[in-house]
Structure 1
Amino acid sequence: MNMKIPFPVDFRVHDRPDFPLYIRTTPVYSAPQFAHENVYRCINHEFAPEDVQNHVRHHIIRCNNRLAEYEGEKSRNERLSVVIPFAMPQTGTENVREMFEFVCKNSCPVPGMNRRSIEVIFTLEDMSRKIYGRKVLNVRVCSCPKRDKEKDEKECFSGNLNPPQGKKRKMEKQDKKVLMSSDHHELKEYSVTIPVVGKQNAQQLVKYAHDLMAGEVVKRLNTGNVVPFRKCLSKINTVNIRESQN
């Protein structure tokens, strides 16, 4: 789905209790290696002109419900979520519709999602945060949802043992071979010295390098050589940030 385009989500509960219920919406990374990290907005979108409170700027999900509360603090490295009261359905329907929207894309750089897949967890809770229900929705936020959808379907279909369009399948194999052969020249290791003002900015730069190399390892697990990238990851993990001596 596209960014800043409101979309509806319908909620329904059977045998609803008498006490108040709440819906918590939490974005998380779906890949196991990133599950421990919290989902935050990228710098560009976080500081874009917007009439919201400062702590809301870090959230990638917004709800149009005027009673929505945005919980979690990025400064304390907390997981962010949006909580709304679960309203009573209107007469003639069993569903309660709420409107949500995303304000950052999967392709945004660190500290954004950095091309990592996410899923949104909807939990039904009471005032003490006891959970009564849970639903998970896989999500991709991009500029051209139709194009990405067709691309995903094509990649999924290309794994079929009997695709009806044999010629197109053959062309895809040739393209992959070309990519692998040219990729051979990109396995050399480079060292870069960059002055950065602010320790937190320097830490973010190191984290970006770590995520970049980790992403390369994941992409090449079944198709390429991961040894140089694992070796580079080990070196990044031992990087010490020192104050420059002017």
Structure 2
Amino acid sequence: MKLYQLYERKQSVLREMMLQDIQIQANTLPKLENHNIGGYCFSMVLDEPPKSLWMYSIPLNKLYIRMNKAFNVDVQFKSKMPIQPLNLRVFLCFSNDVSAPVVRCQNHLSVEPLTANNAKMRESLLRSENPNSVYCGNAQGKGISERFSVVVPLNMSRSVTRSGLTRQTLAFKFVCQNSCIGRKETSLVFCLEKACGDIVGQHVIHVKICTCPKRDRIQDERQLNSKKRKSVPEAAEEDEPSKVRRCIAIKTEDTESNDSRDCDDSAAEWNVSRTPDGDYRLAITCPNKEWLLQSIEGMIKEAAAEVLRNPNQENLRRHANKLLSLKKRAYELP
């Protein structure tokens, strides 16, 4: 029983340290990336109905839809014990400029009467068809919690899938088009939040609000396929198979030699040393941001375990806090 209690305490300390920096994310600029920091297996499912007024392109991860036409999306997440309320925050974001808030055009805004109850909803380009939805934000907001968004309570009218995931259907629509906002590319961000505002999961899909979804989807997918074909070697090379084989062999040898040089260079970039105080220092170069965050999270787990085993050692706690600050800095990297 004591071992179980120790394990539970260790997990509790670890969760606390891992989630300390999540609240900070709500006040920063949005990042167009999917993640499941809280371990809720959060995902979105779009089932395109036949003869609908919206379409979803799988290769482009893009929704094509007409203005004022609703689309359904199924939210899936893992329920945790004890059950706690969860919300879904949804907002539009410019794909190439996340710092600029997305607001309605004056033409469509002017035709919607202003009442005492619809001030925030009237200015929001995104609308929810679900009851109990709350409209948040303002036209100057830049952080996630400050910009125009729709917050929908979850854990209501839900069903459970065969895999054990909670599934709830939500409906949304847009009251402006991309042409209203300078034809800029937009993305729809879904944030799974706890009641306190902590973001524990995020999913992003690209969106185009237009008059002819089918036409625009076909055009965009053709452009994608054209780019793929251009990256494939020309079929004319088949006329000289022996020459092609010689070229491939030469390129393979060059690649192998380059790879070996890259290994030597990266080894030089990975610096391991010992400080005068007896500590150890490691400097590494990661090929992408996800690997960097995973490396820091691994060190945070080890630090949390050491803090639990040695709660009176202040130097360990300072080290753990430094790792949390380091992860915050790494998360803010472009």
What TM-score does the superposition give when structure 1 sets the normalisation length? 0.59
**Structure 1 residues 48 and 90: alpha-carbon distance in aligned structure 2, compared to 1, 3 A threshold:** same
Q: Please say if 1:74 is aligned against 2:139.
A: yes
Q: Please say if 1:22 is aligned against 2:87.
A: yes
Distance (whole Å) between structure 1 residues aligned to residue 217 and residue 171 of structure 2: 22
- Residue 95 of structure 1 corresponds to 167
| Equivalent residue letter for 1:67 | N
Once the two structures are TM-superposed, the CA of residue 76 in structure 1 deviates from its matched residue by: 6.4
**Structure 1 residues 91 and 140: alpha-carbon distance in aligned structure 2, compared to 1, 3 A threshold:** closer
- Residue 264 of structure 2 corresponds to none
* Pairs within 5 Å for 1:228-239: none
Q: Secondary structure at the match of 2:93?
A: strand
Q: Please say if 1:123 is aligned against 2:195.
A: no
- Residue 104 of structure 2 corresponds to 41
Distance (whole Å) between structure 2 residues aligned to residue 86 and residue 30 of structure 1: 27
- Residue 60 of structure 1 corresponds to 125
Q: Secondary structure at the match of 1:140?
A: strand
**Structure 1 residues 50 and 95: alpha-carbon distance in aligned structure 2, compared to 1, 3 A threshold:** farther
Unaligned runs of 5+ in 1: 164-246
Contact 2:89–2:149 at 8 Å: present in 1 too?
yes
What TM-score does the superposition give when structure 2 sets the normalisation length? 0.44
Over the residues paired in the alignment, what is the CA RMSD in angstroms? Answer: 2.4
Distance (whole Å) between structure 1 residues aligned to residue 226 and residue 159 of structure 2: 47
* Pairs within 5 Å for 1:3-14: 3-14=67-78
Deviates more, 1:85-94 or 1:122-131: 85-94
Contact 2:88–2:192 at 8 Å: present in 1 too?
yes
Distance (whole Å) between structure 2 residues aligned to residue 75 and residue 119 of structure 1: 19
2:209 to 124, 141, 149: 141
| Equivalent residue letter for 1:38 | P
1:11-56 Cα distance to aligned partner (Å, 9 max, x none): 111133411111100111111xx22100001111111235761222
Once the two structures are TM-superposed, the CA of residue 154 in structure 1 deviates from its matched residue by: 2.2
Contact 1:45–1:103 at 8 Å: present in 2 too?
yes
- Residue 275 of structure 2 corresponds to none
Once the two structures are TM-superposed, the CA of residue 103 in structure 1 deviates from its matched residue by: 0.8
1:187-228 Cα distance to aligned partner (Å, 9 max, x none): xxxxxxxxxxxxxxxxxxxxxxxxxxxxxxxxxxxxxxxxxx
Distance (whole Å) between structure 2 residues aligned to residue 102 and residue 35 of structure 1: 19
Contact 1:89–1:95 at 8 Å: present in 2 too?
no
Distance (whole Å) between structure 1 residues aligned to residue 131 and residue 148 of structure 2: 18
1:119-158 Cα distance to aligned partner (Å, 9 max, x none): 1111111121011111111111101001111111222233
Distance (whole Å) between structure 1 residues aligned to residue 184 and residue 141 of structure 2: 22
